[in-house]
Amino acid sequence: MDTDLAHAWLLAVASSVEADRERLTRLDAEIGDGDHGTNLHRGFTAVRAALEEIHPESVGRVLVTTGTTLISRVGGASGPLYGTVFRTAGKRLEAPECDVAELAAALSAGYEAVCALGSARVGDKTMLDALHPAVEALTAADPTGGLAAAARAAAEAARKGAEATVDLQARKGRASYLGSRSRGHLDPGAASTALVFGALADVTSG
Amino acid sequence: MKKFLNTADTFLPDALAGLAAAHPELRVDVDTGTVVRTEAPESAKVALVSGGGSGHEPLHTGFVGAGMLDATCPGQIFTAPVPDQMLAAANAVNAGAGVLFVVKNYTGDVLNFEMAADLALEAGIEVQTVLVDDDVAVQDSTFTAGRRGTGATVFVEKLAGAAAARGDDLATVADIGRRVNAASRSFALALTACTTPAAGRPGFDLPDDEIEVGVGIHGEPGRTRERLRPARELVSEAMEAILADHEALGAGDDTIVMVNGLGATPLSELYLVYGEVASYLSERGIRIARTLVGNFVTSLDMAGCSITVCRVEEPFPQLWDSPVRTPALRWGC
């Protein structure tokens, strides 16, 4: 992945979030307070503007700029959580470009950081339920198979992980107050994480 | 949706512009997202900063003023504000005696205030945090994000604010705040869902003869859905949950009691509920020393109420009675 591709990835995430804004908000209305789409849209609109203004010159800087902007603009839980994933991953990538294994290791560090920040783990019905399988898929990808194949696997894993949250009872975040009533609903944070990896697959498929 | 607004997107800045117009004693800065007392920073006084998502008015903007908060940072509707806002608020009010963050226990508020506290420390501001988590409807924190911060926030802001106003140091003010929270329990009932300007329709569907029991203040559904019953029975259910959880509270104790409207419930109904609460406590030998009835921690246009009971210890009554001059609470001055 080079800087241009990282830039394209985050712009694609912004577009996906914009297109799915209503769906994310509807999912959140079922088990939260119905603003996940609105909040992420505000954040990624700011990310788009920040990337165009700053023009970061490495993959790592693109991700750090994204994370910092999300923390400053989103609020709620998703601002710090998404911001931490991108900032932590970005700080691990010092060279202008990275290969699949390096990207996987960086995102894995992002995953660890967000687990610690949110005191959450896989199975709590959160964004982690999509993030973890996606990072695992990237990590397990054949290094000779290229980024596109790895990103497709990650996107598929994130999508399946998000869908599997339907059967889970929330143990973190606002949905946890519903207890068993949170079952039967797709977690909006997992759904938006699936969009992030879907966008990665889209921009790498050439 | 029927609301007084120009556009859903400008709801918050337009509401803040109105707050500024009505209260020249507050500095409302839409760019930094802060509302600050014009007297702040007040020499040698510990500064109180709170904040959270908007939609709970008068919490927190209505409690900025002498004897309560020095600043607040309103977030988007039901969305925790960002660390930049909290830091701007802390910078605006810090007089060198330190800043107390009053934080309601929601994942978003906690994470953003933690980040802001780190930034403030880096900037040389001494910060302590009081986490408010009084809602007994949330059970077993192993399986949840922990208890929500609701009505007790008003008590914490009033009593810790009074401690700061009389010159207590940061550690003492924080200790008062934590003790008030530890002594307080709340429970809420919703008759209707609320509608955010962005969503444009109610957060959940609730038939005319059903209520949500154990709701929070963000329009999320409650712990259970039940049939609407006489107020006496509903109050009993809420009070049983509060007393069952409050092991220290019993006959002979004094309390501060708040019956709080969630936004669309008439005062007559709130007083009716208060009457039932007073009877319930009286039958159990628990005295009410101070009372608050009205709309203080709302959930936009939700119909419903919350009940908060704080077991009085020293020096709560004296701090409660000390002067307060804010848009929403005003006495003794």
Tens of pLDDT, residues A112-124? 999 999 999 999 9
| Per-residue confidence band for A33, with pLDDT thresholds at 50, 70 and 90 | confident
Give the mean pLDDT of A52-70.
Answer: 96
Domain CATH code at residue A106: 1.25.40.340
Q: Judge whether residue B222 has pLDDT over 90.
A: no
Instruction: Give the nearest partner residue to A79 out of B77, B82, B145, using CB atoms.
Output: B82
B1 in contact with chain A, both atoms CB, cutoff 8 A? no
Cβ atoms within 10 Å, residue B192 = 20
Q: Judge whether residue B140 has pLDDT over 70.
A: no
- Is the Cβ–Cβ distance between B152 and B182 less than 8 Å? no
For an interface test with B, give the residue of A36, A177, A181, A183 to mutate (most B CBs within 10 A): A177
Q: Which residue of B has its CA nearest to A77?
A: B108
Instruction: Give the nearest partner residue to A75 out of B82, B198, B223, using CB atoms.
Output: B82
For an interface test with B, give the residue of A26, A27, A33 to mutate (most B CBs within 10 A): A33
* pLDDT one-digit tens code per residue, B201-218: 888 889 999 999 999 898
Give the alpha-carbon dihedral of B308, B311, B315, B317, to 10 degrees: 60
Q: Judge whether residue A108 has pLDDT over 90.
A: yes
User: How does the average pLDDT of chain B come out, rounded?
Assistant: 95
Euclidean distance between CA atoms A180 and A135, whole angstroms: 28
Which one is the CATH code of B11-183: 3.40.50.10440, 2.40.50.140, 1.10.150.20, 3.90.1150.10? 3.40.50.10440
Which residues of B are marked as active site?
56, 218
With beta carbons under 8 A apart, name residues in chain A contacting B115: 71, 80
- In three-state secondary structure terms, B154 is helix
DSSP B92-117: HH--SS-EEEEEES-HHHHHHHHHHH
CA B79 to mean position of chain CA atoms: 15
- Nearest partner of B306 among B242, B269, B262, B266, judged by Cα: B262
> Domain range spanning residue A49?
3-204
Q: Quick check: bond before B41 cis, omega within 30? A: yes
Euclidean distance between CA atoms B305 and B189, whole angstroms: 6
Give the mean pLDDT of A45-72.
Answer: 97
CA distances from B235 to B20, B151, B295 (A): 38, 16, 18
Q: Which helix (H) or strand (E) holds B185?
A: strand B184-190
B283: number of CA atoms within 13 Å, CB side?
Answer: 10
CA distance B214 to chain A (A): 9
User: How many folded domains does chain A comprise?
Assistant: 1
β-strand partners of B102: B50, B130
Q: What local confidence, expressed as pLDDT, does residue B145 receive?
A: 78
Q: Judge whether residue A173 has pLDDT over 90.
A: no
B246 in contact with chain A, both atoms CB, cutoff 8 A? no
Q: What local confidence, expressed as pLDDT, does residue B141 receive?
A: 60
Give the mean pLDDT of A5-21.
Answer: 97
Q: What local confidence, expressed as pLDDT, does residue B205 receive?
A: 85
Pairwise CB contact (< 8 Å): A81 & B111: yes
- Residues A26-47, buried b or exposed e (16+ Cβ, 10 A)? bbbbbbbbbbbbbbbbbbbebb
What are the residue boundaries of the structural domains of chain B, listed by start? 11-183, 184-320
* pLDDT one-digit tens code per residue, B253-303: 999 999 999 999 999 999 999 999 999 999 999 999 999 999 999 999 999
Cβ atoms within 10 Å, residue B265 = 23
Pairwise CB contact (< 8 Å): B53 & A174: no
Pairwise CB contact (< 8 Å): A173 & B145: yes
Q: What local confidence, expressed as pLDDT, does residue A178 receive?
A: 83
- Nearest partner of A77 among B16, B260, B156, B114, judged by Cα: B114
With beta carbons under 8 A apart, name residues in chain B contacting A42: 76
B138 in contact with chain A, both atoms CB, cutoff 8 A? yes
Q: Judge whether residue A197 has pLDDT over 70.
A: yes
DSSP H helices, chain B, are 11-22, 83-93, 107-122, 152-165, 170-182, 231-245, 267-283, 316-321
Length of chain B: 333
CA distance A196 to chain B (A): 21
With beta carbons under 8 A apart, name residues in chain B contacting A181: 221
Instruction: Give the nearest partner residue to B219 out of A33, A118, A171, using CB atoms.
Output: A33
Enter the tokens of residue B51.
Answer: 């904040």
Task: Give CA angle at A52 (A50, A57), nearest 5°.
Answer: 90
CA distances from A174 to A124, B143, B247 (A): 12, 12, 26
CA distance A152 to chain B (A): 31
Handedness of CA B322, B300, B138, B286 (dihedral sign): positive
Kindly give the pairing relationship between strand B224-227 and strand B99-104.
unpaired
User: How does the average pLDDT of chain A come out, rounded?
Assistant: 94
- Nearest partner of B92 among B40, B160, B48, judged by Cα: B40
With beta carbons under 8 A apart, name residues in chain A contacting B75: 75-76
Handedness of CA A188, A190, A195, A196 (dihedral sign): positive
Pairwise CB contact (< 8 Å): A76 & B53: yes
The DSSP call for residue B202 is B
For an interface test with A, give the residue of B220, B224, B299 to mutate (most A CBs within 10 A): B220
Enter the tokens of residue A183.
Answer: 């079952």
With beta carbons under 8 A apart, name residues in chain A contacting B218: 32-33, 174
Q: pTM surpassing 0.90? A: yes
Pairwise CB contact (< 8 Å): A77 & B148: no
- In three-state secondary structure terms, A205 is coil
Q: Judge whether residue B144 has pLDDT over 80.
A: no
B280 in contact with chain A, both atoms CB, cutoff 8 A? no
Q: What is B184-320's CATH number?
A: 3.30.1180.20
Instruction: Give the nearest partner residue to A178 out of B53, B203, B221, using CB atoms.
Output: B221
Euclidean distance between CA atoms B83 and A101, whole angstroms: 33
Q: Judge whether residue B142 has pLDDT over 70.
A: no
What is the percentage of chain B residues whose pLDDT exceeds 70?
99
Tell me the Cα Rg of chain B: 19
- Is the Cβ–Cβ distance between B46 and B97 less than 8 Å? yes
Q: Judge whether residue A206 has pLDDT over 80.
A: no
B226 in contact with chain A, both atoms CB, cutoff 8 A? no
* pLDDT one-digit tens code per residue, B240-255: 999 999 999 999 999 9
